[in-house]
Amino acid sequence: MDKIDKIILASSSPRRQQFFKDFDLNFEVRLKEIEEIYPENLKAEEITNYLAELKAKAFEGEIAKNELLITSDTIVWLNGKALGKPKDYDDAFAILKSLSNATHEVITSVCFKNSTSIETIFDVTKVTFTTLSDDSIRYYLDNYKPFDKAGAYGIQEWIGLIGISKIEGSYTNVVGLPTEKVYTYLTSRLIK
């Protein structure tokens, strides 16, 4: 991939946007609505890789030679099944109930696209929840409304403080972006 001097983040996630601000790198946000549908035969990181690349391909022909487009997708993987963003309150409750007293994987893929090529990386973090009471789940849903988050939770929020007993891997990956991998990738390709 060529050296680049302009970063475009194609994500409406306030958490991902904040990570890029915290990198102290200049970037701009460009958004496109994408229907996040993937083939049923895909598993784990195949799903997030596919969706991150699908989001990047929506910008085909719009990326200048000196620009780098970054797209991303995160899922929660539990018992061979992908848990995305909840459809509604009841779905969020059911998702959190399924995560209670269990270990799941958070998988995030990040796609880097310039005018001539596309590369995708991914990261996997194992997260273990303690037993969550129905009252705790309801309190979290009522007060934090995590309906825009894969797996219906944000590790950085109240539920992470009271419910997560173990994490193996990147914390920021669970928030939505494996920052250490992304920063390493970017700094190896940026013109300072």
Active site members: 73
d(CA 55, CA 147): 20
* Residues with Cβ within 8 Å of residue 85, at least 6 apart in sequence: 147, 148, 149, 150, 152
Those residues whose C-beta lies under 8 Å from the C-beta of residue 84, and which sit 6 or more positions away, are 36, 75, 76, 150
Q: Are 32 and 54 in contact (CB under 8 A)?
A: no
Q: Which residues pair with 119 in a beta bridge?
A: 112
